[in-house]
Amino acid sequence: MADAAIKIEAPGQPIQFIDLQAQRLRIETEINQAVQRVIEGGQYIMGPEIEKLEADLSEFCGAKHTITCSSGTDALMLVLMANNIGIGDAVFVPSFTFAATAEVVALVGATPIFIDSDETSYNMAIESLKAGYDLADRHGVIPRAVIAVDLFGQPADYDAIEPFCREKDLLLIDDAAQGFGGVYKGRNIGTIGQATATSFFPAKPLGCYGDGGAIMTDDADLAEKLISLRFHGKGSHKYDNTRIGMNGRMDTLQAAIVIEKLKIFADEIEKRQTVANRYNEGLKDICVIPYIEEGCTSAWAQYTIRVPNRDMVTAKLKEVGVPTAVYYPLPLHQQTAYKNFPNAGNMSVCEKAAQEVLSLPMHPYMDEETQAYIIRQLQQALQNG
């Protein structure tokens, strides 16, 4: 039926998977001025913008403390370090996530145990977490923590994970690199678990113009340790070294940029929701659309559908100028670097999802025509497949 395909008028501009320039143009003056202020002010490390951003982030999500740092990866690592998690400890992580979630566990010397995904949300599945927990003993490691990931922006299944962590005395850490800005049943992401780690990598919903990250927590002792750890384990001053830390600070320049972007972040989340709604409407009858749990708001880091014949669909979309991406083509427990770590046993849900997921262009500034074009091209690719 391929020749029955009708020609669809393409938008004038190339379609962006994520359009960072549209956002930059919206707040161009503010960002340029903020950057200039930092350059002229001269406090490039731990300048006043760091504290300001930390206060703004705490206010935004309702956490008591925010500690900025060098990246989302370091945010996770710092939390593990602050809790003395290391050799002999087990940390449960989803397999279907970005490598950093598990990487930090291995870097501190602990053992990541990979957990399978839920079929509909792609987030960590509670039954698999329970199965993984029961295997820790066999691997000679002591269960210490769970890192839940808010994959694609959708908050993890905290109603199931939180009571399990409480019962088993496990720390709960939220890897909200994709989920910051979201809401879980009335609770803001940033306020769930002992600590929340997020990333300001440029492509995340709240990004800077380089690397950056932050940790949110209500725990004052933890906050104090994190402040020390991100600055070489400093004590009362920077040449007083009370613990082994790292150079994990966020640049003042990047903080100044995030301060400006945070002002429009809530509006951008709403715009992302509008884009997601339009995709849902146009695609619900032809492929598996994202499932968002009742009462939750996704930060829509990605809009991810599921199609059986992904390679064909991707190729057809590429031909007509629609960029797509696959997050993630291989779960971590099947990756060269991670395959020798334990997993929960049955990992079939994420293994299958990895072969079928496809992320579509998603950003707050997608106009209706461009989106209608993407939807029509996808309809055609799926129908003619």
Max CA distance (Å), the chain: 74
Q: Which of 117, 116, 113 is nearest to 139 (CA)?
A: 113
In the complex, least distance from residue 147 CB atom to ligand PLP, rounded to whole angstroms:
9
Site string for ligand PLP, 347-366 (x = CB under 6 A): --------------------
The answer for residues whose C-beta is within 8 angstroms of residue 296's C-beta and 6 or more apart is 154, 155, 182, 183, 184, 185
Among 58, 68, 71, 95, contact with ligand PLP (rule: CB under 6 A): 71
Q: Which stretch binds ligand PLP (CB under 6 A): 28-36, 67-75, 152-160, 312-320?
A: 67-75
Closest residue by Cα to residue 333 from 343, 321, 322: 343
- Closest distance between ligand PLP and the C-beta of residue 360, in Å? 17
| Inter-residue contact 260 to 113 (CB < 8 Å) | no
Helices (DSSP H) in the chain: which residue ranges?
20-26, 28-41, 48-61, 72-82, 100-107, 126-135, 158-168, 220-229, 252-263, 265-283, 310-319, 348-356, 368-384
Nearer to ligand PLP, 85 or 381 (CB): 85
DSSP state of 86: -
Q: How far is the CB of 112 from ligand PLP (least distance, A)?
A: 13
- Return d(Cα 24, Cα 201) in angstroms, integer: 15
Of 157-216, binders to ligand PLP (CB under 6 A) are: 175, 177-178, 199, 201, 211, 213
User: Taking Cα atoms as reference points, which of 87, 69, 159 lies closest to residue 123?
Assistant: 159
Considering CB under 6 A, how many residues would be counted as binding ligand PLP?
15
* Closest separation in Å from C-beta 6 to ligand PLP: 38
Instruction: Output 96 or 365, the one with its CB closest to ligand PLP.
Output: 96
Q: CB nearer to ligand PLP: give 76 or 313.
A: 76
Taking CA 179 as the corner, what is the angle to CA 339 and CA 291, rounded to the nearest 5 degrees? Answer: 85
Kind and range of the H or E run holding 215:
strand 213-217
71 vs 95, beta carbon nearer ligand PLP: 71
Q: Which is nearer to ligand PLP, 194 or 380 (CB)?
A: 194
Considering beta carbons, is residue 71 or 297 the nearer one to ligand PLP?
Answer: 71
Output phi, psi for 255, to 5 deg: -65, -40
CB of 10 to ligand PLP, least distance (A): 31
Binding mask 118-157 for ligand PLP (x = CB under 6 A): -------------------------------x--------
Minimum distance, C-beta of residue 381 to ligand PLP, in the bound complex (Å): 27
Which residues make up the interface to ligand PLP (CB under 6 A)?
A: 71-73, 97-98, 100-101, 149, 175, 177-178, 199, 201, 211, 213
